Amino acid sequence: MNRNLKFAFILTILLGFFGTKINAQLKPGDLVDGIAAVVGDEIILESDIEDQANYAQQQGAKISDKCEFLESIVSNKLMIYEAKRDTLIENRSAAIKENATAKYNQILGQFPDEKTMLAAYKFRTSYEMKNAIEKIDTDNYYGQMKYGRITDKADVTPNEVTDFFNTYKYQLPMVKDEVSLSQIVMNPKLTDAHKNEIIAKLNKIKSDILAGESFESQARIYSEDPGSAANGGLYKNISKGKMVKPFEAAALNLQEGELSDPVESEFGYHLIQLVKKSGKQYDARHILLKAEPNADEIASAKKELDSIRTLITTGKLTFKEAAYRFSDDKKTKFNAGIVTAEDGSDKIEKLNLPPTISYHIAGLHKGDITDVFQDETQHGKVVSIVKIDDTIDAHQMDITTDYDRIRQMALNKVKNEMVEKWVKEKLPNVFISINDRYKNCTFKTDWRKDTASR
């Protein structure tokens, strides 16, 4: 039997099974689940679309309509189907599953309790939400890897960039007000007395655990790690090299079930219990107490940074030298303090700046440096200064001032055309079926026509 016909036959049985199951359990007002589409052996359920749409919207994605979202999933599923058959693409299912749990716990840390979080994300159970995160991450990984394999040889010449600009110059977007910034960020240093206070608290927790309290309950009560506290401090299947060095060194020097002494890292102080060690992976629980500076420690850091600012403004030290010597921000200290956007550009739209930085650079000009100000990062309270390296007023995109942006747009167009060509070449050889519930959708790719001709 032809593979596509064989799979279509299996699909018919599956549809019958789902239909019987749904009708048997359906109550008035219940949402009917079922198969929305099939791509190769990748099945897309109605609930998958709903769950992924809810999660994507909560993460800031814009979804104009369900048809567009479905087509995006179908197109990606085609690349995923082919990616999983591509022996040059690594299977990362275990790592993706682990990361999905970590993401879930991280999101949970932003809410007062699990019920509130599930309601906000429109999921009924933690299993549904974790499953949705895992599916999205799986789709993203395999889709991106296949996209990279398809487009790895894409390039554009200067003449092609010019042609692209001349063709689309009246359709190119406006460039909004932008700035280029450099920064120096310092972590306030805790006094010895403050450090000893935190260590003493962890030692007390350790004593309570050794006296009979469970590590899990103590982690839920005391740990300040949003990624693991709700899960009793547990991280599973940790690969060597994934955690910060002090944590990993302490954890791997323990026997299973043994507790560490307080361990200092960039995140604070940890009490660690090794749960299990197997090959290059291990499970561990920890209780984190963040090293949050007090008012006096913050004031001391501000005074130190203000002295550094004076050295810069009087010409005794360049901003680049000061960033390298004194900044605690690993992302910028080795790059002259230069702040970059998500796409790697050093030009950042003013509207996308963090509110604190936006407030402190207001009214400043090129070359100016802010006064020392307090800020908050994922690691806690910091003090900072920011230098205005350049300001770019809003303008219509032009090849003389925005060549790199226009080149990237031209390159993206070439890549998209390569993917479209690849899809058309693959369609005749991959079984694709979209439920008739979507027969009124207008898709960019004529999936039904291509599948009907097989």
* Cα separation, 16 vs 51, whole angstroms: 23
* Cα separation, 109 vs 112, whole angstroms: 7
Q: Per-residue pLDDT for the chain (454 aa), expressed as one digit of tens each? A: 444 433 333 333 233 333 333 333 334 444 446 888 999 988 888 887 887 777 777 766 776 678 888 888 888 889 999 999 999 999 888 888 888 888 887 788 677 788 898 998 888 898 989 988 998 898 889 999 999 999 999 999 999 999 999 999 999 999 999 999 999 999 999 999 999 999 999 999 999 999 999 999 999 999 998 878 888 999 887 888 888 899 999 999 999 999 999 999 988 999 999 999 988 889 999 999 998 999 999 999 999 999 999 999 999 999 999 999 999 998 999 999 999 988 788 999 999 999 999 999 999 999 999 999 999 887 789 999 999 999 999 999 999 989 999 999 999 999 999 998 998 899 888 999 999 888 888 888 878 754 444 4
* DSSP secondary structure code for residue 33 in this structure: P
pTM for this predicted structure: 0.66
| pLDDT (0 to 100) of residue 205 | 97
Domains, the chain, ordered by start: 3-154+413-452 (1.10.4030), 174-188+294-396 (3.10.50.40), 192-289 (3.10.50.40)
Own/partner long-range contacts of 417-423 (Cβ < 8 Å, ≥24 apart): 418/150, 418/151, 418/154, 419/79, 419/147, 419/150, 419/151, 420/445, 422/150, 423/75, 423/78
* Cα separation, 362 vs 368, whole angstroms: 11
List Cα–Cα distances, 182 to 167, 261, 369, 391, 418, in angstroms.
Answer: 36, 39, 9, 12, 38
Four-CA torsion 309, 312, 317, 319, nearest 10 degrees: 90
What length is written for the chain?
454
- In this structure, are residues 383 and 302 in contact, taking their beta carbons and an 8 Å threshold? yes
| pLDDT (0 to 100) of residue 391 | 95
> CB atoms < 10 A from the CB of 343, how many?
9
Checking DSSP bridges between strand 178-186 and strand 395-396, what pairing results, if any? unpaired
| pLDDT (0 to 100) of residue 260 | 96
Q: Is the dihedral of CA 340, 344, 346, 348 positive or negative?
A: negative
The helix/strand/coil state of 289 is strand
* Cα separation, 21 vs 16, whole angstroms: 9
| pLDDT (0 to 100) of residue 252 | 93
- In this structure, are residues 252 and 301 in contact, taking their beta carbons and an 8 Å threshold? no
* Cα separation, 370 vs 209, whole angstroms: 48
